[in-house]
Amino acid sequence: MLVDKPFKWTSFDAVNKIKSMLRHRLGLKKIKIGHAGTLDPLATGLLIICTGKATKEIIQYQGLDKTYTGTFILGQVTPSFDLETIPEKNSPFLHITPEKIDEAMQQLSGEQKQLPPIYSAKKIRGERAYHYARQGRETELKTNDIRIISLEATRVDLPEVDFRVTCSKGTYIRALARDLGDLLGCGAYLSALRRTHIGDYSVDDAMGMEAVIREFDQFR
Protein backbone atom coordinates (compact mmCIF):
# COMPACT_ATOMS: atom_id res chain seq x y z
CA MET A 1 0.00 0.00 0.00
CA LEU A 2 1.14 3.53 -0.79
CA VAL A 3 0.06 5.85 2.04
CA ASP A 4 0.42 9.61 2.41
CA LYS A 5 1.38 9.94 6.09
CA PRO A 6 -0.40 12.82 7.84
CA PHE A 7 1.35 15.59 9.78
CA LYS A 8 2.11 14.68 13.42
CA TRP A 9 1.41 10.96 12.87
CA THR A 10 4.34 8.65 13.47
CA SER A 11 5.04 6.02 10.84
CA PHE A 12 4.02 3.41 13.40
CA ASP A 13 0.72 5.24 13.98
CA ALA A 14 -0.11 4.65 10.31
CA VAL A 15 0.99 1.01 10.43
CA ASN A 16 -0.92 0.31 13.65
CA LYS A 17 -4.08 1.98 12.31
CA ILE A 18 -4.04 -0.19 9.19
CA LYS A 19 -3.21 -3.29 11.23
CA SER A 20 -6.17 -2.62 13.53
CA MET A 21 -8.53 -2.17 10.57
CA LEU A 22 -7.27 -5.35 8.91
CA ARG A 23 -7.93 -7.31 12.07
CA HIS A 24 -11.34 -5.86 12.90
CA ARG A 25 -12.82 -5.16 9.45
CA LEU A 26 -11.61 -8.36 7.81
CA GLY A 27 -11.68 -10.60 10.87
CA LEU A 28 -7.98 -11.42 10.72
CA LYS A 29 -6.60 -12.54 14.08
CA LYS A 30 -2.98 -12.22 13.04
CA ILE A 31 -1.41 -10.22 10.24
CA LYS A 32 2.19 -9.27 9.47
CA ILE A 33 2.61 -5.62 8.58
CA GLY A 34 5.47 -3.14 8.33
CA HIS A 35 6.69 -0.03 6.54
CA ALA A 36 9.69 0.62 4.32
CA GLY A 37 11.32 3.71 5.81
CA THR A 38 10.43 5.88 8.80
CA LEU A 39 9.15 9.43 8.44
CA ASP A 40 9.42 11.80 11.41
CA PRO A 41 6.09 12.88 12.98
CA LEU A 42 6.54 16.45 11.69
CA ALA A 43 7.06 15.20 8.12
CA THR A 44 4.38 14.14 5.66
CA GLY A 45 4.42 12.06 2.53
CA LEU A 46 5.00 8.64 1.08
CA LEU A 47 5.06 5.50 3.18
CA ILE A 48 5.22 2.07 1.56
CA ILE A 49 3.32 -0.34 3.82
CA CYS A 50 3.52 -4.09 3.25
CA THR A 51 1.27 -6.79 4.67
CA GLY A 52 1.32 -10.58 4.83
CA LYS A 53 3.88 -12.27 2.57
CA ALA A 54 4.82 -8.89 1.07
CA THR A 55 6.59 -7.99 4.33
CA LYS A 56 9.46 -10.18 3.07
CA GLU A 57 10.00 -7.55 0.36
CA ILE A 58 10.31 -4.57 2.74
CA ILE A 59 14.10 -4.61 2.70
CA GLN A 60 14.20 -4.08 -1.08
CA TYR A 61 11.99 -0.98 -0.76
CA GLN A 62 14.06 0.34 2.15
CA GLY A 63 17.14 0.38 -0.06
CA LEU A 64 15.59 2.60 -2.74
CA ASP A 65 16.64 6.24 -3.14
CA LYS A 66 14.21 8.80 -1.72
CA THR A 67 13.16 12.29 -2.80
CA TYR A 68 12.00 15.02 -0.43
CA THR A 69 10.86 18.62 -0.66
CA GLY A 70 10.88 21.00 2.27
CA THR A 71 12.05 24.25 3.84
CA PHE A 72 15.21 25.20 5.70
CA ILE A 73 15.22 28.26 7.98
CA LEU A 74 18.54 30.12 8.10
CA GLY A 75 19.84 32.15 11.04
CA GLN A 76 18.76 29.90 13.90
CA VAL A 77 19.34 26.35 15.16
CA THR A 78 17.38 23.88 17.26
CA PRO A 79 18.68 20.94 19.34
CA SER A 80 16.65 18.50 17.21
CA PHE A 81 17.49 20.31 13.92
CA ASP A 82 13.74 20.70 13.30
CA LEU A 83 10.69 22.15 15.09
CA GLU A 84 10.44 19.36 17.66
CA THR A 85 12.49 21.74 19.81
CA ILE A 86 12.53 25.54 20.07
CA PRO A 87 14.69 27.68 17.70
CA GLU A 88 17.55 29.54 19.38
CA LYS A 89 20.82 31.42 18.80
CA ASN A 90 19.92 34.15 16.31
CA SER A 91 22.65 34.78 13.72
CA PRO A 92 22.88 37.24 10.78
CA PHE A 93 21.71 35.77 7.48
CA LEU A 94 20.74 38.65 5.17
CA HIS A 95 24.23 38.71 3.63
CA ILE A 96 23.80 35.17 2.30
CA THR A 97 23.11 35.13 -1.43
CA PRO A 98 21.39 32.43 -3.52
CA GLU A 99 24.80 31.80 -5.09
CA LYS A 100 26.32 31.03 -1.67
CA ILE A 101 23.42 28.68 -0.91
CA ASP A 102 23.91 26.85 -4.23
CA GLU A 103 27.63 26.56 -3.56
CA ALA A 104 27.05 25.09 -0.10
CA MET A 105 24.51 22.64 -1.47
CA GLN A 106 27.03 21.49 -4.07
CA GLN A 107 29.52 20.85 -1.27
CA LEU A 108 26.92 18.67 0.44
CA SER A 109 26.32 16.57 -2.68
CA GLY A 110 27.87 13.17 -3.32
CA GLU A 111 29.05 10.42 -1.00
CA GLN A 112 29.78 11.43 2.58
CA LYS A 113 29.64 10.45 6.22
CA GLN A 114 26.72 12.04 8.05
CA LEU A 115 26.32 12.32 11.82
CA PRO A 116 22.67 11.53 12.70
CA PRO A 117 20.69 13.84 15.00
CA ILE A 118 20.68 12.89 18.68
CA TYR A 119 16.90 13.37 18.47
CA SER A 120 16.50 10.29 16.26
CA ALA A 121 15.37 6.67 16.46
CA LYS A 122 18.93 5.37 16.11
CA LYS A 123 19.64 2.73 18.74
CA ILE A 124 22.44 3.17 21.29
CA ARG A 125 23.01 0.18 23.55
CA GLY A 126 19.45 -0.98 22.85
CA GLU A 127 17.84 2.40 23.58
CA ARG A 128 16.56 5.01 21.11
CA ALA A 129 18.83 8.04 20.82
CA TYR A 130 15.97 10.48 21.43
CA HIS A 131 15.49 9.02 24.91
CA TYR A 132 19.03 10.12 25.77
CA ALA A 133 18.40 13.57 24.26
CA ARG A 134 15.11 14.19 26.08
CA GLN A 135 16.67 13.15 29.39
CA GLY A 136 19.71 15.37 28.85
CA ARG A 137 22.08 12.38 28.88
CA GLU A 138 25.29 12.61 26.87
CA THR A 139 26.04 9.97 24.26
CA GLU A 140 27.81 9.51 20.93
CA LEU A 141 26.36 8.41 17.61
CA LYS A 142 28.26 6.78 14.76
CA THR A 143 28.23 8.37 11.32
CA ASN A 144 26.23 6.92 8.42
CA ASP A 145 27.64 6.45 4.92
CA ILE A 146 25.17 8.30 2.70
CA ARG A 147 24.89 9.73 -0.80
CA ILE A 148 23.23 13.00 -1.78
CA ILE A 149 22.33 12.40 -5.43
CA SER A 150 20.93 15.90 -6.00
CA LEU A 151 20.23 18.90 -3.78
CA GLU A 152 18.85 22.20 -5.06
CA ALA A 153 17.20 25.33 -3.74
CA THR A 154 13.81 25.81 -5.41
CA ARG A 155 12.97 29.12 -3.70
CA VAL A 156 15.03 31.57 -1.64
CA ASP A 157 13.16 34.14 0.46
CA LEU A 158 15.43 34.60 3.46
CA PRO A 159 15.36 33.24 6.05
CA GLU A 160 13.38 30.55 4.15
CA VAL A 161 15.04 28.25 1.62
CA ASP A 162 12.80 25.74 -0.13
CA PHE A 163 14.65 22.71 -1.46
CA ARG A 164 14.41 19.39 -3.28
CA VAL A 165 16.77 16.53 -2.45
CA THR A 166 17.22 12.97 -3.71
CA CYS A 167 19.32 10.83 -1.41
CA SER A 168 20.24 7.33 -0.34
CA LYS A 169 18.87 5.24 2.48
CA GLY A 170 19.99 6.42 5.93
CA THR A 171 20.06 10.14 5.13
CA TYR A 172 18.66 12.50 7.76
CA ILE A 173 17.32 15.66 6.14
CA ARG A 174 17.39 17.38 9.55
CA ALA A 175 21.13 16.71 9.68
CA LEU A 176 21.42 18.15 6.18
CA ALA A 177 19.88 21.37 7.55
CA ARG A 178 22.50 21.42 10.31
CA ASP A 179 25.33 20.86 7.83
CA LEU A 180 24.05 23.55 5.46
CA GLY A 181 23.83 26.03 8.33
CA ASP A 182 27.38 25.18 9.38
CA LEU A 183 28.73 25.74 5.86
CA LEU A 184 26.92 29.08 5.56
CA GLY A 185 28.07 30.11 9.05
CA CYS A 186 24.62 31.16 10.23
CA GLY A 187 22.98 27.96 11.42
CA ALA A 188 19.82 26.42 9.97
CA TYR A 189 17.01 24.06 10.88
CA LEU A 190 14.34 22.10 9.03
CA SER A 191 10.86 23.64 9.27
CA ALA A 192 8.91 21.45 6.82
CA LEU A 193 9.48 18.14 5.06
CA ARG A 194 7.54 16.01 2.60
CA ARG A 195 8.66 12.72 1.02
CA THR A 196 7.50 12.67 -2.59
CA HIS A 197 9.18 9.54 -3.98
CA ILE A 198 10.67 6.22 -2.93
CA GLY A 199 12.39 4.87 -6.02
CA ASP A 200 9.77 5.06 -8.79
CA TYR A 201 6.88 5.13 -6.30
CA SER A 202 5.23 8.56 -6.01
CA VAL A 203 3.14 10.18 -3.30
CA ASP A 204 0.81 11.25 -6.13
CA ASP A 205 -0.33 7.61 -6.27
CA ALA A 206 -0.71 7.28 -2.48
CA MET A 207 -3.90 7.33 -0.40
CA GLY A 208 -4.41 9.69 2.52
CA MET A 209 -5.34 8.05 5.83
CA GLU A 210 -8.94 9.27 5.56
CA ALA A 211 -9.25 7.51 2.20
CA VAL A 212 -7.67 4.36 3.62
CA ILE A 213 -10.18 4.37 6.49
CA ARG A 214 -13.08 4.81 4.04
CA GLU A 215 -11.85 1.84 2.02
CA PHE A 216 -11.77 -0.41 5.06
CA ASP A 217 -15.16 0.85 6.28
CA GLN A 218 -16.70 -0.91 3.25
CA PHE A 219 -15.91 -4.23 4.93
CA ARG A 220 -17.93 -3.58 8.09
Q: What is the pLDDT of residue 218?
A: 73
Give yes or no for residue 65 having a pLDDT over 70: yes
Residues 2-33 pLDDT 10s: 999 999 999 999 999 989 888 887 777 788 99
| Domains delineated in the chain | 2-63+200-217 (3.30.2350.10), 66-198 (3.30.2350.10)
pLDDT digits (tens, 9 = 90+) for 133-161: 565 666 667 788 999 999 999 999 999 99
What was the pLDDT predicted at 29? 78
End-to-end CA distance of the chain: 20
pLDDT score of 201 more than 90: yes
What is the rounded distance in angstroms from the CA atom of residue 16 to the CA atom of residue 117? 26
Alpha-carbon distance of 127 to 133, in angstroms, equals 11
The C-alpha atoms of residue 209 and residue 6 are separated, in whole angstroms, by: 7
| Mean pLDDT score of the chain | 89
Q: What is the mean pLDDT of residues 75-82?
A: 94
Residues acting as catalytic residues: 40
- pLDDT confidence band for 120 (50 / 70 / 90): low
d(Cα 122, Cα 191) in Å, to the nearest integer?
21
Q: By mean pLDDT, which of 51-55, 94-98, 107-111 is the weakest?
A: 51-55
